[in-house]
Amino acid sequence: MKLRVAVLQGGRSGEHEISLRSARAVLDALDREKYEVSEILISKEGRWSPRVIVPEPGANDGIDVVIPMLHGTFGEDGTVQGLLEMAGLPYVGAGVLASSVAMDKEVTKRLCLQQGIPVAECLVVTRDEIEDAPCDSLPFPVFVKPANLGSSVGISKAHDAAQLRESLRLAAQFDTKIVVERGIAGREFECAVLGNEDPEAAMPCEILPSREFYDYADKYLLDQAETVLPAHLDAKQIAEMRRLAVAGYRAVGCEGMARVDFLLEQATGKLFLNEINTIPGFTSISMFPKMWEYCGLPMPKLLDRLIELALERHRTRESLRYSR
């Protein structure tokens, strides 16, 4: 019998359209000889179509495994993962805790620092504090980011105090917690990680933005940014990036998959972990599947592996006792 796979797409976040593009690529790549595939669309208002009634725990209700191709809030932050856990459904990607932790840029930094993983210095500002936030705690330029969002939505670069205020106001439209991060002048890299108990990192790639930084427009609208795969780094640098990618993955408790982003500071040659994305893009320009394809795992095989990892984790969780 074919495995019944449901692909979740859309969602309430600012990355709704990117989710649709990722889901389309996944749907096109799934091997229909192996899988019976269904689509579930979540509208920007949170409506599910076709209408889904969450089954009783342990009853799969026609679904064997779920692929959540949801980016950002209400999809990548542990909320949907919690729903699927309550329903007893296997699903691709990180669990509730890792999804929630990796979504919060400041919490990710704290956990990485505890494991000795270098991250850029930052301060946290709440929405209520933006007009009184200190402007001299970090040297300019700084990056201002909503703590819980992806695809560079709401992110801007501030070169002085006036720009910082404007950047804080922009970020506050997307989150109540804002991260102000020291700007690192250098190169941007991505590294894909795959696995549960024994994760492994792919060959990293370099991102060459066409703008001042790799923002939303550069990622999805302009089609002018360039990528270099494999990244132009020496063997020692590549080994260190892959090591840190796995270390960061483990620090937040990831399972299944993640894309770990890095900055290489030009002045010092120091490598900084920037972010961890637990549901990386799968669009035609997304580098997560391309990095694995370079390593010999094309998209259909990558999806096979992700489904295997989801079922493996589900079997492990089913073996646990939740009552006396």
Catalytic residue among 14, 261, 274, 286: 261
Give the single-character DSSP code of 91: B
Measured between alpha carbons, how far is 163 from 94 in angstroms, rounded to an integer?
Answer: 36
Give the single-character DSSP code of 189: E
150 is catalytic: no
Catalytic residue among 15, 188, 215, 255: 15
Catalytic residue among 12, 187, 259, 313: 259
261 is catalytic: yes
Do residues 231 and 205 make contact, with C-beta atoms less than 8 angstroms apart? yes
Give the single-character DSSP code of 212: S
Do residues 197 and 315 make contact, with C-beta atoms less than 8 angstroms apart? no
Cβ-proximal residues to 234 (8 Å cutoff; 6+ apart), any chain: none
Catalytic residue among 220, 249, 255, 274: 220
Helix (H) or strand (E) holding 10: strand 3-10
Helix axes 79-87, 96-103, angle to 10 degrees: 180
Catalytic residue among 22, 151, 274, 286: 151
259 is catalytic: yes
Measured between alpha carbons, how far is 126 from 47 in angstroms, rounded to an integer?
Answer: 30
Catalytic residue among 100, 156, 277, 286: 277
281 is catalytic: yes
Catalytic residue among 93, 206, 281, 313: 281
Q: Using only the alpha carbons of the chain, give its radius of gyration.
A: 20
Instruction: State the catalytic residues.
Output: 15, 151, 220, 259, 261, 275, 277, 281
